[in-house]
């Protein structure tokens, strides 16, 4: 795929590229596609100690949770399309910072997934460009995210200008019988 010449400008298309990427805001009608993409993301992390622990009824739960997210005024999901096919997703949530710190609010980026067949074609770049516009519209000056270390995600985030600023740690607590 040569989707390099991405158009992330509010769903408009640019001439030139034979396989243009467009990015649009997701609507409730996109819920089945969103569930598929976000479950695919979790399945790619099947061996991860947090994201690999998928519940058997995850799909049903996903409809409820992601439906509520689509209705929320504090967040947005963007879908990238090539032709009529949805190839990627990115979610932005306007998030309150600690009241002791600047800035007041930031954009938390999550649920980023590009279908394997569309990778390395500029889909993430297009999604991030649109997310940046959303931040600008809301007066948000910063994006933050968590990613699994290593792999394609780490390289993509570094290449996209996201610096590592924190480590997330986890420890299992043994059950104690009293």
Ligand X SMILES: CC(C)(COP(=O)(O)OP(=O)(O)OC[C@H]1O[C@@H](n2cnc3c(N)ncnc32)[C@H](O)[C@@H]1OP(=O)(O)O)[C@@H](O)C(=O)NCCC(=O)NCCS
Nearer to ligand X, 22 or 147 (CB): 147
Q: Which helix (H) or strand (E) holds 156?
A: helix 151-159
Name the minimum Å distance from CB 47 to ligand X.
Answer: 13
**Sign of the CA dihedral running 169, 55, 124, 155:** positive
Give the closest residue to 24 by CA, choosing from 47, 6, 37, 8. 8
C-alpha triplet 126, 131, 132: angle, nearest 5°: 100
- Please state the closest distance from residue 163 (CB atom) to ligand X, in A: 15
Specify which residues 75 forms β-bridges with. Answer: 93
Q: How far is the CB of 11 from ligand X (least distance, A)?
A: 18
Q: Which is nearer to ligand X, 3 or 140 (CB)?
A: 3
Of 3 and 135, the one with the shorter C-beta distance to ligand X is: 3
> 107 or 156: whose CB is closer to ligand X?
156
Q: CB of 120: closest distance to ligand X in angstroms?
A: 5
What order do you get walking across the sheet with 105-114 strand by strand?
A: 21-25, 75-82, 85-96, 105-114, 143-144
Chain positions contacting ligand X, by CB under 6 A: 41, 44, 112-114, 119-125, 147, 152-153, 155-156, 159-160
């Amino acid at each position: 795929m040569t989707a390099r010449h991405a158009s992330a400008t509010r769903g408009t298309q640019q001439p030139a590229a034979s396989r243009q990427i467009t990015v649009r805001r997701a609507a409730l009608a996109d819920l089945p596609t969103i569930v598929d993409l976000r479950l695919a993301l979790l399945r790619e992390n099947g061996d991860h100690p947090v994201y690999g622990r998928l519940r058997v009824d995850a799909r049903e739960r996903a409809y409820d949770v992601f439906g509520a997210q689509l209705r929320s005024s504090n967040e947005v999901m963007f879908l990238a399309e090539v032709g009529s096919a949805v190839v990627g997703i990115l979610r932005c949530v306007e998030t309150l910072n600690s009241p002791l710190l600047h800035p007041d609010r930031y954009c938390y980026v999550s649920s980023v997934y590009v279908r394997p067949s569309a990778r390395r074609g500029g889909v993430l770049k297009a999604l991030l460009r649109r997310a940046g516009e959303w931040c600008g519209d809301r007066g948000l000056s910063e994006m933050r995210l968590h990613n699994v270390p290593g792999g394609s995600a780490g390289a993509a985030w570094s290449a996209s200008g996201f610096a590592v600023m924190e480590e997330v740690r986890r420890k299992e607590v043994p059950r104690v019988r009293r």
